Amino acid sequence: MARLTINGKSHNVDVEPDTPLLWAIRDTIGMTGTKYGCGIAQCGACTVHIDGAATRSCSVQVSDAVGKKITTIEGLAHNGVLHKVQKAWIDNDVPQCGYCQSGMIMAVAAFLKQNPNPTDADIDREITNICRCGTYQQVRTAIHAVAKA
């Protein structure tokens, strides 16, 4: 039994300690906004924040997440107010199928906290999530929109 703190709430999860955090979040706790894409930290669909840092939860063991502050897409809004990245995503109609966008938004939210006014080169270097629909043009536009707001 491991105790995880997710979006400010404590959860006891009965999983093997080496279970990827992703599967504890999705299947054990039942929060399905965080997605499985590859299982090898390539695509970023499973991105969550661990102590504020964007992290690919498919490649973090539950035992390593104990005692840390985990935020998922469900916890990004604050007191019912959407995060500025979520708002920009809506304003720019970024998602297509939307499956990768939980991870994309989490990656961008952490990135913009570190770098509130990024250049295109910064975005190219730091945003490496895969989107098969190819929303990259809208993602870039929306990131700049957040920075300008």
Partner 1 sequence: MTYISNLDRRSFLIGSASAVGGLSVGFNIPFGDGAAATETMPEVNAWVVVRPDETVIIRIARSEMGQGTLTGLAQLVAEELDCDWSKVTYEFPTPGENLARKRVWGEYLTAGSRGIRTSVELVSKGGAAARMMLVQAAADRWKVPASECVAANSVITHKASNRHTTYGKVAKAAAKVEPPKEIKLKDPKDWKIVGKSLKRLDTPDKTQGKTVYGIDIRLPGMLYAAIKACPVVGGKVKSFDAAKITSRKGVKKVVQVEGYAVAVVADSWWRAKTALDTLPIVWDEGDNAKVSSASIAAWLKEGLDVDQALVGNKGGDVKAALASSAKKVEAVYAYPYQNHAPMEVMNATARYTADKCEVWCSTQNGEAALATTSEASGLPVPKCEVYKTFLGGGFGRRSTSHDYVRQAVLIAKEVPGTPVKLLWSREEDMTQGWYHPVTQCKIVAGFDANNNLTGIHYRISGQSILATVAPARMQEGRDPATFSGFYAGGAEAAFGYSIPNILVDHSMRNPHIRPAFWRGVNINHNAIYIECFMDELAKEVGVDALEFRRKLMEKHPKHLAVLNAVAEKAGWGKPAPAGIHRGLAQAMAFGSYVAACAEVSVDGKKVKIHRIVAATDPGHAVNPAQIDRQVAGSFVYGLTGLFLGGCTVKDGRIEQENFDTYEMMRIKEMPKVETILMPSGGFWGGVGEPTICVAAPAVLNAIAAATGTRYRTFPLRDHGLTLV
Footprint of partner 1 (CB under 8 A): 15-16, 19-20, 23, 27-28, 30-40, 42-43, 45, 72-74, 76-77, 82, 86, 89-90, 93-102, 105, 123-125, 127-140
Choice between 16 and 51, CB closer to partner 1: 16
Question: Whole-angstrom Cα distance, residue 35 to residue 27?
Answer: 11
Question: Whole-angstrom Cα distance, residue 51 to residue 46?
Answer: 16
> Which residues does residue 56 pair with via DSSP β-bridges, in sequence order?
47
Close Cβ partners of 140 (under 8 Å, ≥ 6 residues apart) = 120, 123
Choice between 32 and 115, CB closer to partner 1: 32
* Residue 16 Cβ vs partner 1, minimum distance, rounded to whole Å: 7
Question: Whole-angstrom Cα distance, residue 59 to residue 75?
Answer: 20
Exposed e or buried b per residue across 98-110, where buried means at least 16 C-beta atoms within 10 angstroms of its C-beta: ebbbbbbbbbbbb
Choice between 36 and 147, CB closer to partner 1: 36
- Hey, what amino acid is at 116? P
* Residue 146 Cβ vs partner 1, minimum distance, rounded to whole Å: 13
* Residue 66 Cβ vs partner 1, minimum distance, rounded to whole Å: 17
* Residue 114 Cβ vs partner 1, minimum distance, rounded to whole Å: 17
* Residue 148 Cβ vs partner 1, minimum distance, rounded to whole Å: 18
Choice between 76 and 110, CB closer to partner 1: 76
